[in-house]
Copies of this chain bind each other. A is one copy, B any other.
């Protein structure tokens, strides 16, 4: 059995080498003229400064957590795993963002000098580096730990998920606050008050806005997906680990890593497909790659599962494969539903409601967001039903792994969007001709659609991963009678926990919304001040102080990300050690439900508002400059923290709470 345990980490190293090769290819494209490189450097250095300062907050926080883990009796190996998880996640985010801020200028320059095909290639290469880094570092970190320590310290590996999820929480929350305070601030003063276009170089907040796309949508999203990806594998390992007397136990523990390995290969094939098809339209290239990779993965996983699991395995191999299929198909279905709500009839309805002012835009958008919850939740319920019918709770974990194994391509396409968006911003700021912007706009539009699918997918994956981790928690908690922990809904402590868990997401959403509101308020005042006090700024004869705006967003993001982090990491031990394991189990169930509902509600409402505004900007219902457009901008502004700060925080919140609970489970005797 031991003969193939080394394959996942080695494959991970290979994936990183491919990512490096792509980076070399990207960096050989011309960065562009002086104006472009200057803007690119400002964005790059703003993003890097933010990451450095963010990690300087993260290191002491992680150190405290690691120290507590070490001294609490969970032991050295768990502490090492926490460190490894945090380190892998941080490296993945850093590498991805580093490459993305190199790709964005080159995409803009290529759009100007070589045309759409090359521009698409570069933007997509930029995203692919992130995708491959996430998938590869997961395999190296988790696969490596599995190879070295899982035999002697089976629970220690769970620490990897905890480390990854803490970094993810800070990256997502910090990045989300940064990006939206900059975006809201720059838009409100620039577009509505000063009457200058988006991404206008005269706007002091515009560099911060572009930095935000990188730290929020690339680094934040990357660590978010990294955490679900590793979390789903860890859950399967933990669940299979409890099948003490079952046939095929060790094969089932290894299976998630094996699936992720062929997922990485499938993703590389998908990336090649996009490259080959990019001479056709960007839309069909991206679509073919996105659909091609999972198809290759699903086919290959059939043979893998049959080869790996013994004949007398407690679950029939084909049932396990069907669970993989359920997850992979379910993820796509949830993504398509998200695409419908953020890009179709509901968007037109919101746009039309803008004709009667901002209040009706809000009412319609909120109701679209609420309605958009129903079908994805139904899909998750069906996935749970099918996967558990196929192979109990192991099936839920495997479905989550099935959904996330092709993370290389999913993440590549997710990260492609902000790179294309940034390229458009750079083209605008550098005063490139309208033809260039048409190309970047088209790339960006494709990116928005795929990003919407990616968001729905991320929520579905996070929900399943969290559920699998919670199941592993339930299976792990030691009980007096030696049986599995019974979480009866009729038990008062379970109910008490459920209510507490249900309220935490609202608290975190409120904190992050407030953070964006407060930071945007500071940003607005600073931008207003610059417009007033810097003579010649609006006329284009003086330069804005963009660094000051980057600094405001950075400081606000770092200050405000701590409290959600403390709540997410602190709530499970607090409830677990004071109210007991039953209350903690209830809290995780309530938290899961509430997080998934709020994540879908906020992400979809925000996406729909965004696209309603874009629909009007394309000239519908009167177009830009009308009262209808102004009303739609209000919706988009409210939607910004919904879809890019508070909504995405929900995915991580529940995963952090679940994995921390799983890690402390052995102590909850």
Residues of A within 8 A of B (CB): 184, 188, 192, 353, 356-360, 362-364, 366-371, 373-374, 377-378, 380-381, 384-385, 388-389, 393, 467, 471, 474, 484, 486-490, 492-496, 498-500, 502-503, 506-507, 509-511, 513-514, 516-517, 520-521, 524, 585-586, 589-590, 593-594, 596-597, 601, 633-634, 637-638, 641
Beyond the given pairs A363-B517, A371-B507, A499-B593, 12 more chain A to chain B contacts, judged by CB atoms under 8 angstroms and listed by A's residue number, are A188-B360, A353-B521, A356-B520, A357-B634, A359-B633, A385-B492, A474-B490, A484-B490, A487-B488, A487-B489, A489-B494, A593-B593
B486 touches A377 (CB 8 A): no
The one of B467, B490, B495, B513 in contact with A370, judged by C-beta atoms closer than 8 angstroms, is: B513
A516 touches B374 (CB 8 A): no
B634 touches A499 (CB 8 A): no
Distance in angstroms between the alpha carbons of A503 and B596 in the assembled complex: 10
Name the CB-closest residue of B to A487.
B489
Distance in angstroms between the alpha carbons of A115 and B516 in the assembled complex: 49
Q: A510-B367, A517-B364 are in contact. Are A192 and B357 (CB under 8 A)?
A: yes
Chain B residues with Cβ below 8 Å from A378 are 499-500, 503
Name the CB-closest residue of B to A369.
B510
Q: A513-B363, A594-B593 are in contact. Are A188 and B521 (CB under 8 A)?
A: no
Taking the closest CB of chain B, its distance from the CB of A301, in whole angstroms, is 23
**Can you pick out 7 interface pairs between chain A and chain B where the beta carbons lie within 8 Å of each other?**
A371-B511, A373-B506, A384-B499, A393-B490, A471-B490, A502-B596, A503-B597
Distance in angstroms between the alpha carbons of A641 and B359 in the assembled complex: 11
Chain B residues with Cβ below 8 Å from A188 are 356-357, 359-360
Chain B residues with Cβ below 8 Å from A633 are 359
Chain B residues with Cβ below 8 Å from A524 are 356
Distance in angstroms between the alpha carbons of A634 and B524 in the assembled complex: 20
Distance in angstroms between the alpha carbons of A363 and B518 in the assembled complex: 10
The one of B368, B474, B494 in contact with A510, judged by C-beta atoms closer than 8 angstroms, is: B368
Chain B residues with Cβ below 8 Å from A388 are 492
The one of B362, B385, B488 in contact with A362, judged by C-beta atoms closer than 8 angstroms, is: B362
Q: A594-B597, A597-B503 are in contact. Are A184 and B359 (CB under 8 A)?
A: yes
Chain B residues with Cβ below 8 Å from A184 are 359
B634 touches A359 (CB 8 A): yes
B499 touches A363 (CB 8 A): no
Taking the closest CB of chain B, its distance from the CB of A127, in whole angstroms, is 30
Q: A490-B393, A498-B593, A593-B593 are in contact. Are A503 and B374 (CB under 8 A)?
A: yes
Taking the closest CB of chain B, its distance from the CB of A357, in whole angstroms, is 7
B503 touches A377 (CB 8 A): yes
B521 touches A360 (CB 8 A): yes
Taking the closest CB of chain B, its distance from the CB of A378, in whole angstroms, is 7
The one of B384, B467, B597, B634 in contact with A506, judged by C-beta atoms closer than 8 angstroms, is: B597
Name the CB-closest residue of B to A585.
B489
Distance in angstroms between the alpha carbons of A519 and B469 in the assembled complex: 45
Chain B residues with Cβ below 8 Å from A357 are 188, 192, 634
Name the CB-closest residue of B to A492.
B388
Distance in angstroms between the alpha carbons of A596 and B498 in the assembled complex: 12
The one of B359, B369, B377, B484 in contact with A499, judged by C-beta atoms closer than 8 angstroms, is: B377
Q: A374-B506, A377-B502, A597-B503 are in contact. Are A638 and B362 (CB under 8 A)?
A: yes
Chain B residues with Cβ below 8 Å from A374 are 503, 506-507
Chain B residues with Cβ below 8 Å from A637 are 359, 363
B384 touches A495 (CB 8 A): yes
